Amino acid sequence: MCLGVPGKIVGTYEKGGLHMAKVDFGGIFREACLEYVPEAQVGEYCIIHVGFAISVLSESEALETLELLRQIGNIEEELGEEPVQSIPRYQP
């Protein structure tokens, strides 16, 4: 399953006739299309699916979700490094 990681909207603008936003994911900034969530405001959080904001969260909802994700992240680390290091040659 995938993860819906909330990002914070730090700015909005128009591009090619579309309502767009600059979204902050822990220091990495991405562009997202806001056409599906016209109500979204700077300072709110949103969940993005392939570049489209699909839902808006309040700060408290977003922080709760981020906390859950952090806990899962810690379990991932306990499980160890990625075992998929090299790709074996295909053996038909």
Partner 1 sequence: MTAQKITIEPVTRIEGHAKVTIHMKEDNTVDHAYMHVNEFRGFEKFCEGRLYFEMPEITPRICGICPVSHHLAAAKASDALTGQTPPRPANLLRELMHMGQIVQSHGMHFFELAGPDLLLGFDADPEIRSVVGLVGANPGLTVKAVMLRKFGQEIIKTLGGRKIHPVFALPGGVNKSLTSQERDNILKGVDTAIETLQVGLQIMKDWAEKNMEDINKFAVFPTGYFGLTTPENGLELYDGDIRLISREGKEMERFQVADYLDIIQEHVEPWSYLKFPFYKKMGYPDGVYRVGPLGRLNLAEKIDTPLANDELKIFKSLNNGKPVENTLYYHYARLIEALFATERVRVLCDDPDILSTDILNTHKNYTGHGVGVIEAPRGTLIHDYTADEDGKLLKVNLIVSTGHNNWAMSNAVDSVAKTYVKGPEIHEGMLNRVEAAIRAYDPCLSCSTHAVGQMPIQVEVLNPDGTLRQLMQRD
Smaller CB distance to partner 1: residue 1 or 42? 1
In the DSSP assignment, the letter for residue 74 is H
Instruction: Tell me the β-bridge partners of 23.
Output: 9, 30
Q: What's the rounded Cα separation, in Å, for the pair 53 and 74?
A: 27
Q: Is 7 in the site for partner 1 (CB under 8 A)?
A: yes
Please, are residues 30 and 13 in contact by the beta-carbon 8 Å criterion?
no
Q: Is 10 in the site for partner 1 (CB under 8 A)?
A: no
Q: Is 48 in the site for partner 1 (CB under 8 A)?
A: yes
- Which stretches of the chain bind partner 1, using CB under 8 A? 1-7, 15-18, 25-28, 30-33, 35-36, 47-52, 54-57, 61, 64-66, 68-76, 78-79, 82-84, 87-90
